[in-house]
Structure 1
Amino acid sequence: MTVWDRPERPTRPVPLDRERIVAAAVALADEGGLEEVSLRKVAARLNAGPMRLYGYIASKEELFDLMVDEVQAEILPDTAPADWREALRVLAHRTRRTVLRHEWLADLLGGRPTLGPNGLAVTEARLAALDGLADIDTVLRAVETVSAYTTGAIRREIAALRAERATGLSKRDWQRANGPHVTRMLATGRFPALAKAVHEGTDVDAETSFATGLDWVLDAVAAQLVQP
């Protein structure tokens, strides 16, 4: 039985329910990451005893499932675009913005499908965007491909943000600090393709990089949706 199927216990003596528990856990994670989330800390924020939380949540893993489902509500647009490509693009960009608001979500994306109501609604929206445009197996592979790109790109962006905070160096500062080493290595002639990328490539921001890569993935999906 999943956490969504199991009924809640009565609220006593401190008013308590899963909604309040999850809200407190999300706030803790937003402030300090998943490592700050424990049943003890959540209970303390709610002025309740830690054991009381077990009447609503059986484990920290269940709490994480509820947290993920809670913030996935932010991914769903009010109105789904009629065009399949725009629908998938909107979902991908909204996923990215949601993770930027809740960085800890990057650590929980890409595993098993989430089975909460919001997680299922996000999956439904992705599948519905392509419904009727190809056979179901093609639709499934297309959604998996777009999701894999979205998750990978977001995780890379979050990793870069965390590295900046950990080192205290911005991207530009890091490049300046490591520039002499890179220049020496490129001067050896062993890395001609990399040298061309460094000297001739255009440096773009994370949002532009994400949008460009997403469009290329959607182009690939479109090629698979062409009907005979």
Structure 2
Amino acid sequence: MVVESGGNARAGRPRAASAAQILEVAAQIADDDGLEAVSFRAIADRLGTSPMSVHRTTGGIDALRRELVAALVGDAIKAIDWPTGWREMCRTFAYALRDLLMRHPLVLEAHRQSALEAPGADDIAHRVVRALRDAGLCAEEAAYAYATLHDFVTGHVSIRLGRGDFESTTAPAERRGASVFVDHHDYDRRFETGISLLMSGIGATLAPRIRS
């Protein structure tokens, strides 16, 4: 959807903006400048309407921010094509979460403050835990295995977003030469290796139970 410029909208009565337009612009602002940058004024300026019009449509800035995060998470959840088998399910979850957080850093920002509230968000956690329990982990092991996978993904994305993909070229040459990553600085490889090691660890925990 292309958002029209505010242009000369203020010469007459400010045009009204739909809830979908407001959410789209709010996502753009948050992805560019952070969730706290989402304000009625910032949205109104981009849409060529008035802050009060945005307020009337959304019901308040906190409600708008919550709805924005919920909409992005909900869209990502709907797009997941769930496989069978605990390994494939864990991988699907990990990559879907990584892609969502990389595409919309505002979701990670919101997640740092509190658990995500979006349709289906809790269902995903239970789905992964259930798959791990069906594979042979007890309830506690399955919950912590899910938590470990979740925390690895969010930690990886936090570092990647904070440092950027070009850290290896922007850091001083002396620092780059001293780093353990001097010859191995591929974020995608790092992510895949981490997921593979986590899957191997879970598999090793399950192996004796499967044989018995």
In the alignment, which residue of structure 2 is the partner of 1:212?
A: 193
Is the counterpart of residue 156 in structure 1 residue 159 in structure 2?
Answer: yes
Say if 1:92 and 1:78 are closer, same or farther in 2 by CA, change over 3 A. Answer: closer
What letter corresponds to residue 69 of structure 1 in structure 2? A
**Deviation (angstroms), 1:215:** 1.4
C-alpha distance in structure 1 between counterparts of 2:125 and 2:44, whole Å? 32
In the alignment, which residue of structure 1 is the partner of 2:84?
A: 82
Q: Residues 30 and 38 of structure 2 are in contact (CA less than 8 Å); yes or no, is this contact kept in structure 1? A: yes
Please point out which of 153, 156, 167 is paired with 1:171: 167
Q: Calculate the TM-score normalised by the size of structure 1.
A: 0.68
Q: Secondary structure at the match of 1:203?
A: coil
CA RMSD in angstroms, aligned pairs only: 3.1
**Deviation (angstroms), 1:64:** 2.7
Which structure 2 residues correspond to residues 125-140 of structure 1 after superposition, within 5 A?
125-133=127-135, 134-140=137-143
C-alpha distance in structure 1 between counterparts of 2:126 and 2:44, whole Å? 34
Is the counterpart of residue 91 in structure 1 residue 93 in structure 2?
Answer: yes
Say if 1:136 and 1:59 are closer, same or farther in 2 by CA, change over 3 A. Answer: farther
**Deviation (angstroms), 1:81:** 0.9
Count of paired positions: 193
**Deviation (angstroms), 1:75:** 4.9
C-alpha distance in structure 2 between counterparts of 1:55 and 1:107, whole Å? 26
C-alpha distance in structure 2 between counterparts of 1:20 and 1:94, whole Å? 25
**Deviation (angstroms), 1:202:** 4.0
Please point out which of 108, 111, 116 is paired with 2:110: 108
Deviates more, 1:144-153 or 1:114-123: 114-123
Q: Calculate the TM-score normalised by the size of structure 2.
A: 0.73
**Deviation (angstroms), 1:221:** 2.7
What percentage of aligned pairs have identical amino acids?
A: 21
Per-residue Cα deviation, 1:133-174 (whole angstroms, up to 9, x for no partner): 33333222111111011100111111111xx7xxxxx43433
In the alignment, which residue of structure 2 is the partner of 1:42?
A: 43
Q: Residues 69 and 118 of structure 1 are in contact (CA less than 8 Å); yes or no, is this contact kept in structure 2? A: no
C-alpha distance in structure 2 between counterparts of 1:182 and 1:160, whole Å? 14
**Deviation (angstroms), 1:57:** 4.2
Please list every run of 5 or more consecutive structure 1 residues that lacks an aligned counterpart in the other structure: 1-12, 165-169, 187-193
In the alignment, which residue of structure 1 is the partner of 2:5?
A: none
Q: Residues 76 and 122 of structure 1 are in contact (CA less than 8 Å); yes or no, is this contact kept in structure 2? A: no
Q: Residues 126 and 143 of structure 1 are in contact (CA less than 8 Å); yes or no, is this contact kept in structure 2? A: yes
What letter corresponds to residue 206 of structure 1 in structure 2? Y
Say if 1:174 and 1:78 are closer, same or farther in 2 by CA, change over 3 A. Answer: closer
What letter corresponds to residue 127 of structure 1 in structure 2? V
C-alpha distance in structure 1 between counterparts of 2:21 and 2:130, whole Å? 32
In the alignment, which residue of structure 2 is the partner of 1:24?
A: 25
Deviates more, 1:137-146 or 1:152-161: 137-146
Please list every run of 5 or more consecutive structure 2 residues that lacks an aligned counterpart in the other structure: 1-14
Per-residue Cα deviation, 1:18-73 (whole angstroms, up to 9, x for no partner): x4332221122234433532122223334443234444545434333222222222
